[in-house]
């Protein structure tokens, strides 16, 4: 039988069977896409770390680093599968934030606390001063994590209030499960393994026992890194490298403040709000993040604040990536400052 391929036979095949060939190629592509989609790890809300940079603030994303650099330097754990930075403008703030926050997006916001003349006056014709931080918290207080320690949250201690538990206290309690003898003690590996195996059920990255064992080692490293970062952040707060900004807020009261016999939207009270880490004293921060909210409009690291967002919407194991990220910013800023000196 003559089965030799010739130009004539090849031409005939392409003339009559080209539709079948294209169809076969299309089927192969579709099957490949389906396989890739099915088998690839599916990131959950907590595994997508999204950073927002408010208007008048600039982040040097190249200097901060991409996901690989953040993994390598302990800024994010192996559980963080994606990382993005969203630069906001005056036009996009009112459009992007409501849409993203309503969808449960957002993990970190960088914003300036510099107070400037709003252009409005009070009842005594005195200028009203405000800040981007006050404006943001006033609009999205429900998405901002509480940093006030044992202080009374602005809206009381009702169970529906998302801002009742101090973020760092919550982080310490989480770590305490795996360090029962204190954060300077040994890790309870059986407790880590029990929780880890329950958490990764259905995770495509850990189907085989060998993958689970390898993943468990990464989990132990994650908790060790978080413990170390948490202790350093506490140290930064004690030595003044970091501080928590106090805001004067006017909020609706649960009591009859004006004495008209009813409790309604006219009953207001003045409270303190603690929702952001002030990074002004971080040495070398200007290499990573700056703001032009300043007296002369020049770029400076003064007044740059970091707000933790939406952690109650994430899996518990992913709620503290912001702690390691904040610790990394302090360490990386100092490293860059040392290189310059």
Average pLDDT, integer, range 249-277: 81
Nearest Cα neighbor of 127 from 115, 140, 139, 113 is 115
What does residue 280 show for φ and ψ, rounded to 5 degrees?
A: -55, -35
Determine the 3-state secondary structure of 297 from DSSP: coil
pLDDT of 299 strictly over 60 = yes
Write down the pLDDT at residue 47: 79
Tell me what pLDDT residue 135 has: 93
pLDDT at position 162 is 58
* Mean pLDDT across 198-203: 81
pLDDT score of 38: 44
Question: Which of 161 and 54 is assigned the larger pLDDT?
Answer: 54
- Tell me: pLDDT of 324 over 70: yes
Kindly state whether residue 218 falls inside one of the protein's structural domains: no
Residue 287 · residue 145 · CB < 8 Å: no
**What gap in Å lies between CA 234 and CA 326, rounded to an integer?**
11
Residue 137: its pLDDT value, please? 93
Lowest mean pLDDT among 178-187, 309-318, 321-330: 309-318
Residue 80's CB: how many other CB atoms inside 10 A?
Answer: 22
pLDDT at 83: 96
Counting beta carbons within 10 angstroms of the beta carbon of residue 337, is it exposed (0 to 12), middle (13 to 18) or buried (19 or more)? middle
228: in domain: no
pLDDT at residue 37, rounded to an integer: 46
Question: What pLDDT score was predicted for residue 35?
Answer: 46
Residue 46 has pLDDT above 70, yes or no: no
Q: Which range of residues forms the domain containing residue 255?
A: 44-167+241-340
Q: Which tens digit of pLDDT belongs to each residue from 79-119? A: 899 999 999 998 889 899 999 888 888 999 999 999 999 88
Average pLDDT, the chain: 86
For residue 264, pLDDT over 50 is answered with yes
**Mean pLDDT along residues 164-170:** 89
DSSP code per residue over 92-147: HHHHHHHHHHHTT--SEEEEE--EEEEEEE-TTSPEEEEEHHHHHHHHHGGGBPP-
Beta-strand relationship, 108-112 and 48-53: parallel
Residue 302 domain-assigned?
yes
Task: Give mean pLDDT, residues 47-51.
Answer: 90
Q: Looking at the domain assignment, is residue 204 inside a domain?
A: no
Number of domains observed in the structure of the chain: 1
In a domain? residue 75: yes
Q: How confident is the model at residue 21 (pLDDT cuts 50, 70, 90)?
A: low
Domain annotation covers residue 190: no
Domain assignment of residue 199, yes or no: no
- Angle in degrees, 0-180, between the axes of helices 209-239 and 321-340, rounded to the nearest 10: 60
DSSP 70: H
pLDDT bracket for residue 39 (50, 70, 90): very low
| Confidence tier at 317 by pLDDT (50, 70, 90) | confident
270 within a domain of the structure (yes/no): yes
Q: What's the pTM?
A: 0.84
The residue-averaged pLDDT of 201-229 equals 89
Q: In terms of DSSP bridges, do strands 304-308 and 268-278 run parallel, antiparallel, or are they unpaired?
A: antiparallel
């Amino acid at each position: 039988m003559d089965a030799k391929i010739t130009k004539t036979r090849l031409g005939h095949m392409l003339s009559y069977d080209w539709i079948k060939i294209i169809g076969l190629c299309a089927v192969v592509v579709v099957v490949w896409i389906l396989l890739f989609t099915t088998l690839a790890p599916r990131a959950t809300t907590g595994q997508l770390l999204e950073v927002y940079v408010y208007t008048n603030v600039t982040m040097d994303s190249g200097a901060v680093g991409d996901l690989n650099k953040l993994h390598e330097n302990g800024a994010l754990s192996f559980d963080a599968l994606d990382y993005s930075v969203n630069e906001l403008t005056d036009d996009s703030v009112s459009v992007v934030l409501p849409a993203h926050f309503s969808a449960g997006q957002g993990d970190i916001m960088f914003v300036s606390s510099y107070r400037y003349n709003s252009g409005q006056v009070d009842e005594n014709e005195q200028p009203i001063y405000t800040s981007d931080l006050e404006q943001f918290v006033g609009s999205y207080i429900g998405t901002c994590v509480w940093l006030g320690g044992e202080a009374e949250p602005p809206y009381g201690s009702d169970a529906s209030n998302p801002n009742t538990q101090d973020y760092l206290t919550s982080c310490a309690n989480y770590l305490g499960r795996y360090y029962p003898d204190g954060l300077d003690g040994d890790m309870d590996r059986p407790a880590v393994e029990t929780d880890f195996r329950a958490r990764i059920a259905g995770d495509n990255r850990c189907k085989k026992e060998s993958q689970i064992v390898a993943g468990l080692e990464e989990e132990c490293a994650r908790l060790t890194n978080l413990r170390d970062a948490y202790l350093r952040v506490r140290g930064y707060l004690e030595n003044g490298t970091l501080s928590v900004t106090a805001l004067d807020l006017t909020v609706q009261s649960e009591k009859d403040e004006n004495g008209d016999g009813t409790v309604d939207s006219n009953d207001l009270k003045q409270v303190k709000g603690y929702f952001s880490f002030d990074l002004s004293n971080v040495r070398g921060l200007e290499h990573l993040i700056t703001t032009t909210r300043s007296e002369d409009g020049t770029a400076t690291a003064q007044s740059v604040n970091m707000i933790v967002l939406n952690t109650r919407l994430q899996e518990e194991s992913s709620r503290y990536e912001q702690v390691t990220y904040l610790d990394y910013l302090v360490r990386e800023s100092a490293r860059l400052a040392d290189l310059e000196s």
